[in-house]
Amino acid sequence: MSQFDYDLFVIGAGSGGVRAARTAAASGAKVAVAEDRYLGGTCVNVGCVPKKLYSYAAHFHESFDDAVGFGWTLPAAPEFNWATLRDNKIGEIKRLNGIYGRLLEGANVRLINGRATVTGAHEVQVGNERITAEKILVAVGGWPWTPEFPGSEYTLNSNQVFDLETFPQRFLVLGGGYIAVEFASIFNGLGSESHLVYRGDLFLRGFDQEVREFTRQEMGKKGVNLHFEANIERIDKVENGLNVTLTNGESLEVDVVLSATGRRPHLEGLGLSTLGVATQENGKLAVNERFETSIPSILALGDIIDGPELTPVALEEAMHLVAHHYGDTPVEPLDYAHIATAVFCHPNIGTVGLSEEAAREHYNAIRVYSADFRPMKHTLSGSEERCLMKLIVDDESDVVVGAHMVGEEAGEVIQGIAIAVRAGLTKAQFDLTVGIHPTGAEEFVTMRTPTRC
């Protein structure tokens, strides 16, 4: 009989924590999970799921306009009802919360409602209950961070913006990451006068430069007001909303200010610092390839360790963690080099592998293939939206080391291309693939002449 109450105790019932709990339990481990907020974590409740639902909603505005060129007329101007979208979203999230609960129950995993504190290498405290475990997994995710400045108390964070009481006719987002870019697009599409303020010269730092510039151009065409090389100096509450003073001298009056300035590991009050669990300079927990912290019985995954802060990454980390600790055969370390991602701004971004800039640093010579075109749909819709597709090729091996797209459903398209990039296919193999016509995606297998080397 084990000397511990549980083989694995998981703190956090987000995507990574629940996947690890269920998979470990399926291998025969006795597992419990503690969660003090909501099942499904950031993604289900205040992240990927509601954001994508709102992004869908925002696209309808353009769809109504596009339909006219195809012969459709609407009897009256479409009207948007914020409360309907918000409340339907709440209903969908409750449904997903229930699914997560049933998944844990079906896996025979005990769910404890409460914030757990790690009190020892093999011990946690939840309320008045002391629990021991052979291994403790910390999977608490991140939490929005807002800088302090005069009036910063008037800002909302990305956890709060989904459930506004009334729809903001004038919306401002502070930040230059994917959350900021997505919400600027969403509220613009829903009908707000939308502003994005970012201290740098261009948003989406770390993405391919051409992709960033193309996205800036397309978002500007759609009506998003972009304020680069500026920050918020102060916010003052006024009769009709909020007066935002920028460091470049501009003054904007808006209804809502969203601070999308980053997320940090949600480690406060967990007791890890008291135990001396090592962290990195960025505040994230340091782990090895087995996801062990400096105290080997304490494990960590997801947004609180280094790596892309993406739900599928946390899920894959959970599978690898369980294979390492409860599997019968050795497992290779997780490959972080070929992880595809999407940004659900308008138009969408999809990307996998290296940017052009990173490839130039990594390889002696590269070839770049790109296509910038007006999609067939818009020859009749009248929209001026354009699409960008791009392949980065290592010249010596001919292997495609990066693929990027800005355009409608970019995430859907790049998911398939990611398989080819992950498999190490060459440009010659892309060229041998017969395209599906007429589609925009066929450009990925019909680009023959390098744009530049």
Q: Position of tokens 């956090």?
A: 12
Specify the domain boundaries for CATH 3.30.390.30 within the chain.
347-445
Architecture of domain 347-445: 2-Layer Sandwich (3.30)
Q: What are phi and psi of 96, to 5 degrees?
A: -70, -40
Tokens of 349: 């971004």
**Sign of the C-alpha dihedral computed for residues 420, 178, 198 and 187 taken in this order:** positive
State how far the alpha carbon of 409 is from the alpha carbons of 56, 231, 345, in Å: 11, 32, 11
Residue in 324, 338, 362, 437 annotated catalytic: 437
Specify the domain boundaries for CATH 3.50.50.60 within the chain.
6-144+264-326, 152-261
Among residues of the chain, what percentage have pLDDT more than 70? 100
Measure the CA–CA gap between 231 and 247, rounded to whole angstroms: 5
Q: What is the largest CA-CA distance in the chain?
A: 73
At 330 the pLDDT is 85
Estimate the share of the chain in helix, then strand, then coil, as percent rounded to the nearest 5: 35, 25, 40
Tokens of 385: 């939206």
Identify the DSSP state of 333.
Answer: P
Q: Kindly report the pTM of this predicted structure.
A: 0.96
In contact, 17 and 139? CB cutoff 8 Å: yes
Classify 6-144+264-326 by CATH class: alpha beta
Classify 152-261 by CATH class: alpha beta
Question: Which segments in the chain show pLDDT lower than 50?
Answer: none
CA-based radius of gyration for the chain:
24
Judged on CB neighbours under 10 Å (0-12, 13-18, 19+), 105 is exposed
| 437 catalytically annotated | yes
CA angle 191, 194, 199 (to 5 degrees): 165
Work out whether strand 193-198 and strand 170-174 pair parallel, antiparallel, or are unpaired. Answer: parallel
CA 24 to centroid of chain Cα atoms: 26
At 1 the pLDDT is 52
Measure the CA–CA gap between 439 and 375, rounded to whole angstroms: 9
Helix (H) or strand (E) holding 283: none
At 175 the pLDDT is 98
At 408 the pLDDT is 96
How many Cα neighbours within 13 Å face the side chain of 212?
17
